[in-house]
Amino acid sequence: MIERIRILRDRIEQACSKCGRSPEDVELLPVSKRQSVDAIREAVDLGFRSFGENYVQEGAAKHLELPGLCFNLIGPLQRNKARLALLHFAEIQTVDRVDLCGRLTRLADELHTERGVWIQMDLWDESTKAGGCPESGLPAIFSELAASGLLKVHGFMAIPPPGQEAAFTEMALLRDRWQQKTGLRLRLSMGMSGDFEAAIKAGSDQIRIGTALFGARVYSPSRSS
């Protein structure tokens, strides 16, 4: 893992150098989906404290075993798993519809729990594949989230279609528009192992890296969200 991280850091530094950014301004979020607790502990020993998980139950189980770490939900969230997500994830990056926002705000108030949330965007009609809301859905989502003082909007998350680097620029422009409209500082979480250089160039504040950091995932016969 040490060598993979060294290579990643070199790639991040080179990408930042090319566009005049500081590597310190780009957060590397390790994606620990289907990685063992031992692998996460190895990453912790190398300086990481926050991890991205795609499945609510898997992430909750890891949080129970490693309660001192921060886990961020980066996979789809069903309304019936909203309570579990609020209990075990420091941030939820896949808020993408008003009914889910309503469920989360009510539960956050009930649990007296403050959490960071990111709005997952879909500007490319990919919602059937990975979730996300179109820009037209943002006014209602911001309005619903504003009803709770416990859910803080940290920014936008996106999974653009593969090979469409211009999609990162679209997201950067969307972030600029909504920062002006809301007065909030909104971060961007976009870019993965195969395309994070283009995301950094467009202005991504966080890149989500799985395989390039941990190596190949170990797939189990069954896994529920």
Render pLDDT for 131-178 as a digit per residue (tens, 0 to 9): 899 999 999 999 999 888 899 999 999 998 888 889 999 999 999 999
Render pLDDT for 104-120 as a digit per residue (tens, 0 to 9): 999 999 999 999 999 99
Exposure on the CB side of residue 35, measured as CA atoms within 13 A: 24
What is the CA angle 68-69-70, rounded to 5? Answer: 130
C-alpha 150/C-alpha 162 separation (Å) is 35
Exposure on the CB side of residue 46, measured as CA atoms within 13 A: 17
Render pLDDT for 5-20 as a digit per residue (tens, 0 to 9): 999 999 999 999 999 9
Give me the residue spans of the domains in the chain.
2-214
pLDDT level of residue 216 (50, 70, 90 thresholds): confident
Whether residue 63 contacts residue 89, with contact meaning beta carbons closer than 8 Å, is answered with yes
| pTM for this prediction | 0.93
Instruction: Please tell me the predicted confidence (pLDDT) of residue 125.
Output: 82
Instruction: Please tell me the predicted confidence (pLDDT) of residue 149.
Output: 87
Render pLDDT for 61-117 as a digit per residue (tens, 0 to 9): 999 999 999 999 999 999 999 999 999 999 999 999 999 999 999 999 999 999 999
Strand 50-53: give its sheet, edge to edge: 27-30, 206-209, 187-189, 151-158, 115-121, 91-95, 70-73, 50-53
Instruction: Please tell me the predicted confidence (pLDDT) of residue 88.
Output: 98
Mean pLDDT, all residues of the chain? 93
C-alpha 167/C-alpha 172 separation (Å) is 9
Q: Which CATH architecture has domain 2-214?
A: Alpha-Beta Barrel (3.20)
